[in-house]
Homo-oligomer: A and B are copies of this chain.
Amino acid sequence: MTRRAADGGTPLAPTRRVHVALADRSYDVLVGAGLLGDAASLDSLRAAGSAVVITNEVVGPLFLERTLRALKPRFASVFVHTIPDGEVHKTWTTLNGIFDALLARHFDRNTTLFALGGGVVGDITGFAAACYMRGIDYVQLPTTLLAQVDSSVGGKTAINHPAGKNMVGAFHQPRLVVADVDALASLPERELVAGLAEVVKYGAVLDDEFLGWIEANLSNLLDKDHGSLIHAVTRSCEIKAAVVAADERESGQRALLNFGHTFAHAIEAGVGYGAWLHGEAVGCGMVLAARLSARLGLIADDRAGRIEAVVRRAGLPVQPPHVDASVLVALMRVDKKAVNGEQRFVLLEGAHGAVVAAAPEDLVARVIDDARAP
């Protein structure tokens, strides 16, 4: 389908559709411009029961009006629940506030939750849907680049625990993802850049041609060119969809999507959650993982250099924060992907490949220290 701007004039970029093939849990990701306010975006949903939009106090004022316009023709009742903004609120308290609101209004299993916002709103709404009355439907309406290319697709839901991020959660697939690049117009540059880290990740680990496209179109992406954004989001979602379809619960291939993330989780915890955006930590984490791969002799130095160059050009940090390497290594040990206390890394291998493997802690620390040198 081709969409036109609200004045009926200029045709906008056509909507792209990515299918996530998971048997009875299959769903589509729609990527385009002007989708949030268009009831046609919801055509694939059962039009029955109630809709509850979960959003936050920052996103709501920007996108709620158009979202409700699309929802109201299709649902008997539409209710909005607003949560506070920020990763620090991805907690049981906020989750239980959602349950309280749903139960107080007697929402039954024939209710669909709509997550309108970034990764925090998506993760907590998905987890609420996973647990409410043992599981109800939900739809992702991601409004940040990070959420559009990563967290809204694949069914990982969670809340944080004081002992670690995403420690309590579930695999629960959405019924639909609607990624409207119009929503990125108001996104602060720092968050746009953070989202690009995950885009780079797909290219770096799984699609060398896409990495080349990112390198060639980086300035268009930073300028929020619609066509470039739609291609970046679509290709990212296609890669993620293929990986998730092959390995929904991350027993194998899906782990490759954690490239840079072992370092990133330690960085985020080491500097204190919120000081670095997740995407910033992933940017730096990819540089460190690439350097580690080179130190282990798995790749030539120029592949590591290429990753570092694109991360730097995107405006992401390439040097680790001022946290002792031994502290970062210790934080990696408690990551939930550790197996029997041994931390594993996604490492690059050969010209285009990647593997999951352990690495000696002293070498990991040395790579961190070396990356800090000017």
User: Which chain A residues have a beta carbon within 8 Å of chain B's beta carbons?
Assistant: 49, 92, 96, 99-100, 103-104, 106, 108-110, 130-135, 156-158, 161, 163-164, 166-171, 249, 333-334, 336-341
Report which of B104, B106, B135, B170 forms a contact with A131, defined as CB distance below 8 A: B170
Closest to A133 in B: B336
A134–B108 CB distance below 8 A: no
A170–B134 CB distance below 8 A: yes
Q: A131-B169, A170-B135 are in contact. Are A339 and B103 (CB under 8 A)?
A: no
- Shortest C-beta distance, A161 to chain B (Å), equals 6
Please, which residues of chain B bring their CB within 8 A of the CB of A132? 167-168
Report which of B134, B163, B339 forms a contact with A109, defined as CB distance below 8 A: B339
Q: A108-B340, A163-B104, A340-B110 are in contact. Are A134 and B99 (CB under 8 A)?
A: no
Please, which residues of chain B bring their CB within 8 A of the CB of A340? 49, 108, 110
Report which of B108, B110, B161, B170 forms a contact with A103, defined as CB distance below 8 A: B161
List, sorted by A's number, 16 A–B pairs whose CB atoms are closer than 8 Å: A49-B340, A99-B167, A99-B168, A103-B161, A103-B163, A103-B167, A106-B338, A108-B336, A108-B339, A108-B341, A109-B337, A110-B339, A131-B168, A131-B170, A132-B168, A134-B170
B163–A130 CB distance below 8 A: no
Known: A99-B168, A108-B341, A109-B337. 4 other contacts (CB 8 A): A92-B92, A132-B167, A133-B167, A135-B170
- Shortest C-beta distance, A348 to chain B (Å), equals 25
> Which 6 A-B pairs give the minimum distances between C-beta atoms?
A103-B163, A133-B336, A134-B169, A131-B168, A108-B338, A106-B334
- Shortest C-beta distance, A355 to chain B (Å), equals 20
Please, which residues of chain B bring their CB within 8 A of the CB of A135? 170-171, 249
A131–B134 Cα distance when bound, in Å, is: 12
Please, which residues of chain B bring their CB within 8 A of the CB of A156? 134
